[in-house]
Amino acid sequence: MDRFAYTGIRVRDLDRSLRFYTRVMGMRELLRGTMDHGGVYVHLKAPGSTQRLELNWYPRSSPHYRPYRNGEELDHLAWWVRDVPATFRRLVRRGATPRIPPWREGRWELAFVSDPDGIWIELIGRALGLRRKASGR
């Protein structure tokens, strides 16, 4: 594992959560994007901190959607890794539960495993083919 990247939480109302984390908690928006399945993510950071918080909103049609219950908003923990498929295989061999096998979304490779308590762990890295082109190999 290379380095811890961020913590992602599920939100019921993205606008409401953004107002809270920016106005109340003083965080600023760094990045926003749409997932292939229609979900939206927003990365936030507090002044003076290197850690990020990712807000994840999923439409009912998303395969990641599940009904909300208070206290279940932790969506996932994320790690940057150099080789997503190899790391996924290694973690599963060591006892992680496979959740979503590696796939490519744009220039990124992603995969999910979970810990013994069911907390999802995202593995994210540049797609291998794109890294080779960028490095001239």
Ordered domains of the chain (ranges, CATH): 1-75 (3.10.180.10), 81-137 (3.10.180.10)
Closest CA to 73 of 4, 6, 12: 12
pTM greater than the 0.75 cutoff: no
Structural contact between residues 44 and 20, judged by C-beta atoms closer than 8 angstroms: no
73 is catalytic: no
58-109: pLDDT as tens digits: 888 888 777 777 667 787 889 889 999 999 999 999 989 999 999 999 999 9
Q: Which residues pair with 77 in a beta bridge?
A: 7, 121
**Residue 124: its pLDDT value, please?**
94
- Say which of 54, 72, 105, 122 is annotated catalytic: 122
Q: Considering the chain, what percentage of its residues have pLDDT values greater than 70?
A: 89
